[in-house]
A and B are shown apart, each in its own frame.
Chain A
Amino acid sequence: MGILTILIFLPLVFGVVILLMPKSLTAYFKYLTVAVSLAQLIIASWLFYQFKTGVNFAGVSNLSQYQWIEKLDWIRLDVGSFGTLQIDYLLGVDGFSIGLVWLSALVMLIAALSSWEIKTNLKGYFALFLLLDTAIIGVFCSLDLFLFYIFYELMLLPLYFLIGMWGGVRREYAAIKFFLYTLFGSIFMLLVIAGLYLSVTDPTTGNHTFNMVYAMNPANYSAGFILSAAANVQILGFSARSISFIVVFIAFAIKVPVFPFHTWLPDAHVEAPTPISIILAGILLKVGGYGIIRIAYGIFPEVAVSLSFWMGLLGVISIIYGAMNALAQRDLKRLIAYSSVSHMGFVLLGIASLTAEGLNGAMMQMISHGFLSVMLFFIVGVIYNRVHDRDIYNFRGLANQMPVFTGFVMIAFFASLGLPGFSAFIAEAFTLIGAFSSQAINGLLPRWMAMVAAFGILLGAGYLLWTLQRMFFGTLRLKKEEWQSQLKDLNFREILTLTPLAVLALVLGIMPSLVFNVMSSSVNQFLMLFK
């Protein structure tokens, strides 16, 4: 059993343990979950530390260069004239996934720590939580499309229940909307996966295969099958590969979420309990970005190049549209949800530029937004748990009431708006450099996109600083008298949660090479696909 298998299935095992534990031990469920997440983070950190970098470990389209590869024959199903259905249990990480694996482990720990607010049906909650944990890590580690899809869909059901059972007032609506949007994208992606399976053969065994690394190499496509580039099959007058790219892109764009597929996000975020919001913003959105890079762009590079302008345009629209919407919100959680749309727009813009700077920036933005959004949602959770209200206009002058808390809020806000010295600055700057230089390097994105996107940063500063001013500065004025006693400053557990996040934002802002080192060779290798 390999280290990645342990990393993936550790939570599942303990999820089952929690299911089997008697009701009398309910109080210990959360400690057990935190312990499991902590163990996971330690393993992930060890992996990150041991991760070998350099040209020989770039990964991407070269299976032997992935690290901690595990390969088992999993499903061999005879399907008549199509030969054998060959599905492998294939795990491995490269520069694109290792950072996200580590981020997931971190976010899950934070989410476990913020699960203290959950009071009902703890057994169900923590079992589902750990199931979700397994699915998330699995998505980032699997290199077989079928396995990837299984983990990808496995995330939906726990989330449906976690939002639906422990969510806010309109939780049923939010949960089903989230489920529907994602399934709508992914069921069509399943058709593409079936097509890829038929078109791609394993160069060593000659069987059809779901291996996504082999699918990146045009030589592995057998001529005449639907998704082979050479065959140029047409469906309804469009090339099958173009349609497939668009289908896969939409599936992941819904997750990211990219305008105009973003409407599930505010609802899901607002209704979900804090830990689930944290997971949604911290990891789930990154699954979308990761999928766009690895599957949509990696497997259909020639289509991606031809549609890059539109991808960039969607990215820019998301940046501006998300920021504008954030400006208009009264609900603090909704504001942060829309800010996620805006920040994730940078990821898409960076990917679309297809430059080294842009892609590095996009990956950095995913990681940076990962823990910054966690911090922001945790901050909302702190207020909401105390007074069960999130309306910005119901609070004023909180700085006097909760000085430590305000300190963390300021760090989170300034880091999010891209103040130099924090990680988001590096990420956004790199993305913009990539987008700006794209016209000169490969002529994919016009310069105005970078300029408009830069305007999005300005808007970001606008809504964050304005919120800071409205809620935290000035004299203390609250909607109800009794809130004053309820709004206590942070307790030890909350400080413990927020401190590492704040430190990370600062460390990655000063030493971005920690992340860049790991992924730069993978990014370069990835760009070779588009040559």
Chain B
Amino acid sequence: MQNITQSTNDILNSIPQLKAESTIVIGFLLVIVVDLFLKKSEKLVFAIAILSLLISGTFLVLKMQNMGESQILFNAMFAISKAGNLFKLLVLLASILSLLFFSQDERLKNHPKGINDFYSIFLGGVLGMFLLISSANLLMVFLSIEMISLASYLMVNYNAYQNKQAEAGMKYVLFGAVASAIMLYGISLIYGFTGTINLYGNEMVNGLNQIGAAGTTLAIVLFMVGIGFKLSFVPFHFWTPDAYQEAPTSVTSFLTTAPKIAVFGFLFLILPTFQGLNNSVFNQLILMVAAASMILGNTIAIFQDNPKRMMAYSSIGHTGFILMLFLLPQMMILNALLFYLAIYLLMNVGTLMSFAHLENKFRATLISDYKGLGKFVQSISIALVILMVSLIGLPPTAGFIAKFLVFSSLINLASADIWIAVLLIIAAITTVISLFYYLKIPLYLFIKKSEIEFKEKPTSNFLIVLTGLIALAIIVFGLFPSLISF
């Protein structure tokens, strides 16, 4: 009886801590209701969506100011911490930028039922990401990953009427379902071995340490399959190129950023659990997938002619690069990780916005269609050059600072561990390789001469303005990275 009172009290005390999440839930419900009862409500729904994101962000910021240690809520289901809130803020930033992008996406707007349903799915996805970052329990992890996945499936398949689009969507769903199943199997193994599904606290680590190498290895590898699917690192990347290529561009921009930030945030928060194991399987796994992702992502990207597909492989490469950080103890990587993710999100969204604009205006869907376009749309072409330079990681852009932070975090370990030295060399070489495909875009825009006449379509300049601002931010943060301080 006492136990029940205690847990009820815990739940009641925990509820007020979830203002940010509740705001999104309210927004989600409002969007559905408004869409049901009001006609021509697109503007209103958009306003509700963006407002709920903004208010939720305000709550997060307020919360952060008087937050000490991390708190465990809801009977160890949920954990909030300052770092977690920072990741949530990044997710919000990605979501807000994507939301602005959705509203410009012609393919989404042309859906016979309008775009309102899409907004509600989107808000559901954002909620899933918030829950994932705060998960303190393996079941919670599974639920929130499923929540993100379901939202992503629907978003990719929204308006997928052509065969290719449907195929990509199917691939994504099937692959995701298998990955989830395997992950669930891993979770059940962990529970079987340790008798607990609490990620925080010592029980799980101690339990796993008693099991022996083979058991832990199996459990962790299976668990990481689910994470790998969401992060799309090699060898769980197969769905990425197809899904990113065929999804509406704005959805691609959302998928390459927000869910990844959430999963990286989650991985960061539970890093002590994995690194506390006697078995070094987690580190070995990270070493291998990081190396494989960087090599595969960056080499295959060279051969792509579809810019979105190229960005898919580029994102696999960047995932590998970020994963290198997870070889270090948790306390050493937070700033570098957040900085990299923040810049990566700006670069990716900006790049895909430019692609979308070129597609809207000139029907240019392939890189080879960009031939000679530079002269006609100078502002967006210059912004694209800046973004590409930043994606390569060259100064004076923020991408360079991000890359440098990762390098400088790892370099001192290079002497202690040969494999880290090898990994750093791979990272350096793949950076050089990435030059080939990132520079292809300026090459086609500016250096190649076009043979055909361009037919311009009147489009809004909204995306140009946004891309320009993002490119400017990339340069400013490159020169004054201290402006982003966490």
Contact = CB atoms under 8 A, between A and B. Distances in A.
Interface of A: 74-82, 85, 121, 149-150, 153-154, 156-157, 160-161, 164-165, 171-172, 175-176, 179-180, 183-184, 187-188, 190-191, 194-195, 197-198, 225-226, 233-236, 240
Interface SS of chain A: helix, strand, loop or mixed? helix
Contacts of B481: 75, 77
Interface residues of B, number: 44
Interface string B404-434: 1101110110110010010011001001100
Interface in B6-32: none
Contact of B415 (A150, A191, A240): A240
B443 interface: yes
Given A78-B335, A194-B411, A150 B418 contact: no
A319 B440 CA distance: 36
B443 A79 contact: no
Given A75-B481, A76-B482, A80-B332, A226 B446 contact: no
Contacts of B415: 226, 233-235, 240
B395 A197 contact: no
Nearest to A147: B395
30 contacts: A77-B335, A79-B335, A79-B336, A79-B405, A80-B334, A80-B336, A82-B408, A153-B395, A157-B389, A157-B394, A165-B447, A171-B447, A180-B432, A183-B392, A183-B431, A183-B435, A187-B432, A190-B403, A191-B411, A191-B424, A191-B428, A194-B404, A194-B408, A198-B408, A198-B412, A226-B412, A235-B418, A235-B421, A236-B418, A236-B421
Q: Which of B334, B389, B439, B447 has the most CB of A within 10 A?
A: B447
Given A191-B424, A240-B415, A180 B332 contact: no
A187 B426 CA distance: 11
Nearest to B393: A187
Contacts of A160: 439, 442
B394 A175 contact: no
Nearest to A176: B439
Contacts of A76: 482
B443 A164 contact: yes
Nearest to B415: A233
A176 B435 CA distance: 9
Contact of A179 (B333, B418, B435): B435
B485 interface: yes
Interface of B: 331-336, 375, 385, 389, 392, 394-396, 400-401, 403-405, 407-409, 411-412, 414-415, 418, 421, 424-425, 428, 431-432, 435-436, 439, 442-443, 446-448, 480-482, 485
Nearest to B396: A150
Contacts of B394: 153, 156-157, 183
Interface SS of chain B: helix, strand, loop or mixed? helix
A121 B336 CA distance: 40
A183 B428 CA distance: 10
Contacts of B412: 195, 198, 225-226
Given A79-B408, A80-B335, A195-B411, A161 B435 contact: no
Nearest to A157: B389
A240 B424 CA distance: 14
A358 to B, nearest CB: 33
B409 A79 contact: yes
Nearest to B447: A164
Contact of A198 (B331, B333, B411, B439): B411
A237 B109 CA distance: 61
A156 B392 CA distance: 13
Contacts of A198: 408, 411-412
B408 A154 contact: no
Contact of A172 (B443, B480, B482, B485): B443
Nearest to A198: B412
B446 A190 contact: no
A183 B335 CA distance: 26
Contacts of B375: 121
Contacts of A74: 480
Contacts of A184: 432
Given A77-B481, A156-B394, 4 more contacts: A150-B400, A157-B389, A190-B403, A191-B428
Closest 10 CB pairs of A and B: A194-B408, A150-B395, A233-B415, A164-B447, A194-B411, A194-B407, A187-B428, A81-B332, A153-B395, A195-B411
Q: Which of A121, A190, A225, A236 has the most CB of B within 10 A?
A: A190
Contacts of A161: 442, 446-447
A149 B395 contact: yes
A183 B432 contact: yes
Nearest to B486: A78
A81 B480 contact: no
Given A82-B409, A180-B432, A164 B446 contact: yes
Contacts of B408: 79, 82, 85, 194, 197-198
A333 to B, nearest CB: 21
Nearest to B424: A191
A499 to B, nearest CB: 36
B332 A82 contact: yes
A175 B435 CA distance: 12
Nearest to A163: B447
A82 B410 CA distance: 11
Contacts of B431: 183, 187
Contact of B485 (A77, A149, A187): A77
Contacts of A154: 395-396
Contacts of B443: 164, 172, 176
A208 to B, nearest CB: 9
A75 B421 contact: no
A161 B481 CA distance: 27
Contacts of B331: 80-81
A480 B405 CA distance: 60
A91 to B, nearest CB: 16
Contacts of B439: 160, 176, 179
A433 B326 CA distance: 55
A236 B414 CA distance: 10
B267 to A, nearest CB: 17
A156 to B, nearest CB: 7
Nearest to A188: B428
A78 B448 CA distance: 43
A388 to B, nearest CB: 18
Contacts of A240: 415
A171 B375 CA distance: 19
B332 A226 contact: no
Contact of A175 (B400, B411, B425, B447): B447
A189 to B, nearest CB: 10
A162 to B, nearest CB: 11
Contacts of B395: 149-150, 153-154
Contact of A235 (B401, B414, B428): B414
A187 B392 CA distance: 11
A172 B445 CA distance: 12
B302 to A, nearest CB: 12
A153 B332 CA distance: 28
Nearest to B417: A235
B167 to A, nearest CB: 34
A441 B407 CA distance: 41
Contact of B414 (A157, A188, A226): A226
